[in-house]
Each structure stands twice: as C-alpha cells, then as structure tokens.
C-alpha cells in the first residue's frame, strides 16, 4: 500500500494543476469580452442600422394619428412639388387630349416622423409604408385616365430624413384633356396644360407651390412627337375657387406644340393642287370630244371629294371652319367650275350649230351644176382636190339674201363654220389652200370660253394661293 500512495498523490496534483490553468484562461476571455463591450458602448448607437428595430417603432408610426395633417390646427403646411417629364406619349385631335408620363415628387416636413441618427442619413422605403403615414392628396385636374406604374413593384419611393423632412416620389402616366383650337389647322399651334391640386385641403390647410420655380420642371431632351414640335415647357400657379368648398392652390404644367406642316403638304395640299391643275387640261381638249372632257371633269371632282372626306375623318366634328377646309373647298369649287365651263361650252356650241344649220337651209350658196352629194360635202367642211378644182372661177362670197345682210351688219358675229368658195388656178395653190383650211378649222372649233378659261382659272387660283399662304403662314 505505501508504494501505491505516492503515484496517486502525483496524479491528483496534476489534475488540480490542469483545472487551475483552465479556470485562469476562462477568466481572461471573459474579461476581454467585457472590455470590448464597454468600448462599443461608448459610441452612440445608430438605430437606423439596427436590424432588430422595426420601422414602425423607429418612426413612431403607432404613437401618432397620421389621419390628420402635420401641425393640425395650425398654419397651412407647405408642400413643394417638382416634376420631371419622362415622355409625351401622344396627342389626339379627335379626343382632344394628351398622354404624359412623369415623375411627381412632393416635399414637406412632418415632425412626427423625426428620428435620431448619428450619421444624419435618411431612410428610404417603398410604397408599403405610404399607407401608414400622411401624404398629400394631390390629383390631376381634368384628367381622363391615370395610373401609377407597378412593374415590377409599385413605382413609389418614400425618403424620410432625421429632422422629419419627407420626399415622396411616384411615376405616373396621365391622360388629360386639352382644349384645342383648329381654326388654323394644320398651320396651328396648341397650348396644353396639366393641372395639379389638392383634393381635400384648401389653401388654409395645405399650401401647394413649385419647389424651385421654373426650375421645378425638367424634361428629357429626347422627347419628340411625329406631328408636333415641342416649343417650350413652363410652370404657373394660381388659386382655384369652388363655390361649395373654397379656395385651393393649383399648379400648372404648360407646354406649347407647333404642328409639322410637311406631312399635310404631301397628303392634302399637293394632291388637291394637282387635281385642280388636272381639271384645266380640259380647256385644251377639243370641245367635240365629249367623253374625254366629261370623264376628266368627273374624275377630278370625285378625287377632291375623297381628299376632303379623308381629312375630316381624322378630325373632331367642330362647328367652325378650319384652314384646311377653306383650301380644299375652294379647290373643289375650281374643279367643279371647270365641269360647268364645259357644260356651258357644249350648250352654246349646240345652239350655234342649230342657228347655222337654219341659215344654211334658208340661203344655200350657188352650187353651179354640182351634184347634191358634193355640195353637202363642202358644207360639212371636207373637201377633195377634185372639188376644189371644180370651183375654179367662182366668187368667194356666199349668196345671202338682203334681209339677212342687214342683220349681219347690225350684229357682227363671226360664225364658227363658214362655207367658202375657193378659186384655185394650179395644183400648188390647191395644196396651200388645204393646209390653211385645216388650220382655219382648228381655230374655229376652239370656243371663246375655253380661250378665256385658260387664263382666268390659273390666274384666279394662283391669286387665291398667295392670299391663303400669306394669311395663315
């Protein structure tokens, strides 16, 4: 037994020594952790970076009634507004409206949302917090349709600063009415406006204003429209009065649009002008070519009707005359008058032919033994070489009774068709007479009305164009 006691004592001493060392190590680790925690506790905590703090607790949402505006019962709360226009999507003349996509931002101060922050940094939230706090109830006056974009989530941003200042931004597409004046269409300029106003709060509760004046409105330089040139954007503000509720602050986004004329020159003015010029071709066509002149006149009239119908189909049914209506209807009148001109020419020619036929029946020239067939051939104005040779030696004056000679002296009218007696002495003179007869026949078949129309119609239309473009341009 004595020899067993020594080893046991040694083993016991070793165990006690190991436990002592472990205890000392644990004490050192605990002391170091305490020192680290004490050093961290010296810096003020930033609650905005704490993951364990809820937003509702941080902004004290549950401690206040956010159904009431900030400083309720006190002076009106100022709400600044600025707008960034992203795109001007469309302008509709038929519906008299425009569609615009914009970023709408509101600025105000709500001390109920103030919080402590060592770095003085703001906190940014999405649209889920908007439903729990007070925000301005701004709406678009005279809007037809509007919506907040929701791809991939609601395009709403809420930024809260430690002192209680709030930035509320949202991306909106709105379709609003625009009162357009088409009296100068398509040489017109249109001014449209997008109006913003608080729905519930009068100017005694909410003061709506442009945050930076004219600089509160910014636009993208790449904004363009196919039919319009955007001349300028500018902002205005004024009070709006409602008889049942009172006065409200109203903000205006005004922009001026000038229409591009080149499209309408190609699609409307040039075709109408060409149709009018085409109707003048009938003045150079022989008046005896009835199918050619009638078909040409009817074609130009129907084409002008189609152009007028196409222009009015894309326009609202306004009760006043537009500039394009004046041009198209005057062109239509010119085309229609060219048809009436041929009707007058044809009627007068028919009356003249009847009168000459009666004169031939009452006083026939001396046929001098010629056959009836040859005589009728001469009266029709067609001659052969044998006919002209057989008339050699006869006088050129027709035999007219004395009664009709007195009438001819009183009314010096030049008949269209003349019966001429020729005196031909040789073959060379016969050929010359045949050529002169052809030229004389062409000149006599061209009525005087056609001659005057060739000058009057183009001159009048050119004069109209000078007045039209000088007035509307």
One-letter-per-residue 3-state SS of the chain? CHHHHHHHHHHHHHHHHHHHHHHHHHHHHHHHHHHHHHHHHCCCCCHHHCCCCCHHHHCCHHHCCCCCCCCCCCCCEEEEEEEEEEEEEEEECCCCEEEEEEEEEEEEECHHHCCCCCCCCCEEECCCCHHHCCCCCEEEECEEEEEECCCCCCCEEEEECCCCEEEEEEEEEEEEECCCCCCCCCCCEEEEEEEEEECCCCCCCEEEEECCHHHHEEECCCCCCCCEEEEEEEEEEEEEEECCCEEEEEEEEEEEEEECCHHHHHHHHHHHHHHHHHHHHHHHCCCCCHHHHHHHHHHHHHHHHHHHHHHHHCCCCCCCCCHHHHHHHHHHHHHHHHHHHHHHHHHHHHHHHHHHHHHHHHCCCCCCCCCHHHHHHHHCCCCCHHHHHHCCCCCCCCCCCHHHHHHHHHCCCCCCCCCCCCCCCCHHHHHHHHHHHHHHHHHHHCCHHHHHHHHHHHHHHHHHHHHHHHHHC
| Mean per-residue pLDDT, 198-210 | 94
Structural domain spans, the chain: 77-259, 263-359+461-470
What is the spatial distance between Cα 39 and Cα 30, in angstroms, rounded to a whole number? 15
Taking 80 as the threshold, does the pLDDT of residue 251 lie above it?
yes
Tell me which CATH code domain 263-359+461-470 carries: 1.20.58.390
pLDDT at 286: 86
pLDDT, tens digit, for every residue of 302-361?
A: 999 999 999 988 888 888 999 999 999 999 999 999 999 999 988 888 888 888 888 888
> How does the average pLDDT of the chain come out, rounded?
80
| Mean per-residue pLDDT, 375-401 | 45
Taking 90 as the threshold, does the pLDDT of residue 300 lie above it?
yes
| Mean per-residue pLDDT, 230-258 | 94
Instruction: Pick from 17-26, 29-38, 113-122, 234-243 the range whose average pLDDT is largest.
Output: 234-243
pLDDT at 393: 45
| Mean per-residue pLDDT, 201-230 | 91
What is the spatial distance between Cα 321 and Cα 328, in angstroms, rounded to a whole number? 11
User: Is 153 or 52 the better-scoring residue by pLDDT?
Assistant: 153
Length of the chain (residues): 473
Cβ contact 111:70 at 8 Å? yes
Which range (13-22, 109-118, 244-253, 444-453) has the least confidence?
13-22
Query: Cα torsion at 269, 274, 277, 282 (round to 10°)?
Result: -140
pLDDT at 468: 96
pLDDT at 447: 73
Taking 60 as the threshold, does the pLDDT of residue 449 lie above it?
yes
Taking 70 as the threshold, does the pLDDT of residue 408 lie above it?
no
pLDDT at 351: 86
pLDDT band at 287 (very low <50, low <70, confident <90, very high): confident
High-pLDDT (> 70) share of the chain, %: 70
| Mean per-residue pLDDT, 186-205 | 94
pLDDT at 298: 94
Place of tokens 């226009």: 85
| Mean per-residue pLDDT, 164-183 | 95
Bridge pairing between strands 206-210 and 77-92:
parallel
Bridge pairing between strands 123-125 and 156-160:
antiparallel
User: Is 204 or 439 the better-scoring residue by pLDDT?
Assistant: 204
High-pLDDT (> 90) share of the chain, %: 48
pLDDT at 56: 57
Residue 238: closest CA among 209, 274, 212, 276: 209
pLDDT at 25: 53
Return the axis-axis angle of helices 270-279 and 323-362, rounded to nearest 10°: 10
Q: Do domains 77-259 and 263-359+461-470 have the same CATH topology?
A: no
pLDDT, tens digit, for every residue of 19-62?
A: 666 655 554 554 455 444 444 444 555 544 444 455 656 667 76
Cβ contact 127:135 at 8 Å? no
Taking 50 as the threshold, does the pLDDT of residue 425 lie above it?
no
Which range (164-178, 352-366, 459-473) has the least confidence?
352-366
| Mean per-residue pLDDT, 185-194 | 94
As given in the structure block, the two tokens for residue 197 are 């106003």
User: Is 433 or 421 the better-scoring residue by pLDDT?
Assistant: 433
pLDDT at 438: 55
Q: Cis ω on the peptide bond leading into residue 186 (within 30° of 0)?
A: yes
Bridge pairing between strands 246-259 and 143-148:
unpaired
Which range (235-244, 386-395, 430-439) has the least confidence?
386-395
Question: Which CATH architecture does the domain made up of 77-259 adopt?
Answer: Distorted Sandwich (2.70)
């Amino acid at each position: 037994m004595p020899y067993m006691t020594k080893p046991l004592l040694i083993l016991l001493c070793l165990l006690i020594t190991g436990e002592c060392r472990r205890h000392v190590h644990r004490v050192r680790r605990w002391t170091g952790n305490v020192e680290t925690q004490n050093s961290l506790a010296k810096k003020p905590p930033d609650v905005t970076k704490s993951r364990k703090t809820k937003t509702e607790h941080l902004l004290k949402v549950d401690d206040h009634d956010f159904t009431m505006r900030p400083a309720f019962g006190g002076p009106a709360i100022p709400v600044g507004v600025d707008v960034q226009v992203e795109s001007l999507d469309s302008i509709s003349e038929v519906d008299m409206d425009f569609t615009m996509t914009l970023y709408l931002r509101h600025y105000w101060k709500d001390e109920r949302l103030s919080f402590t922050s060592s770095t003085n940094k703001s906190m940014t939230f999405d649209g889920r917090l908007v439903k729990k706090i007070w925000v301005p109830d701004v709406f678009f006056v005279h809007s037809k349709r509007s919506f907040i974009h929701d791809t991939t989530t609601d395009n709403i941003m809420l930024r809260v600063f430690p002192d209680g200042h709030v930035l509320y931004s949202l991306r909106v597409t709105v379709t609003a009415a625009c009162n357009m004046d088409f009296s100068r269409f398509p040489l017109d300029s249109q001014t449209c406006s997008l109006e913003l106003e608080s729905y519930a709060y009068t100017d005694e509760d909410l003061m709506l204003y442009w945050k930076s004046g004219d600089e509160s409105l910014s636009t993208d330089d790449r904004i363009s429209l196919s039919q319009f040139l955007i001349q300028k954007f500018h902002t205005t503000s004024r009070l709006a009065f409602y008889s049942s509720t009172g006065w409200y602050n109203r903000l205006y986004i005004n922009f001026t649009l000038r229409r591009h004329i080149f499209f309408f020159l190609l699609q409307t003015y040039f075709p109408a002008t060409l149709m009018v010029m085409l109707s003048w071709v009938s003045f150079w066509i022989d008046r005896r070519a009835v199918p050619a002149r009638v078909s040409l006149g009817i074609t130009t009239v129907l084409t002008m009707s189609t152009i007028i119908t196409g222009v009015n189909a894309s326009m609202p049914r306004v009760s006043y005359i537009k500039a394009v209506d004046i041009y198209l209807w005057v062109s239509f009148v010119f085309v229609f008058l060219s048809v009436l001109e041929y009707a007058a020419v044809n009627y007068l020619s028919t009356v003249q032919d009847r009168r000459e036929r009666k004169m031939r029946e009452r006083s026939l020239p001396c046929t001098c033994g010629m056959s009836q067939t040859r005589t009728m051939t001469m009266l029709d104005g067609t001659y052969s070489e044998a006919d002209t040779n057989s008339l050699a030696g006869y006088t050129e004056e027709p035999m007219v009774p004395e009664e009709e000679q007195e009438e001819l002296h009183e009314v010096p009218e030049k008949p269209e068709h003349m019966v001429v007696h020729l005196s031909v002495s040789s073959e060379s003179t016969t050929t010359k007479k045949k050529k002169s007869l052809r030229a004389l026949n062409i000149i006599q078949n061209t009525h005087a009305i056609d001659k005057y129309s060739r000058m009057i119609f183009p001159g009048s239309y050119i004069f109209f164009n000078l007045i039209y473009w000088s007035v509307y341009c």
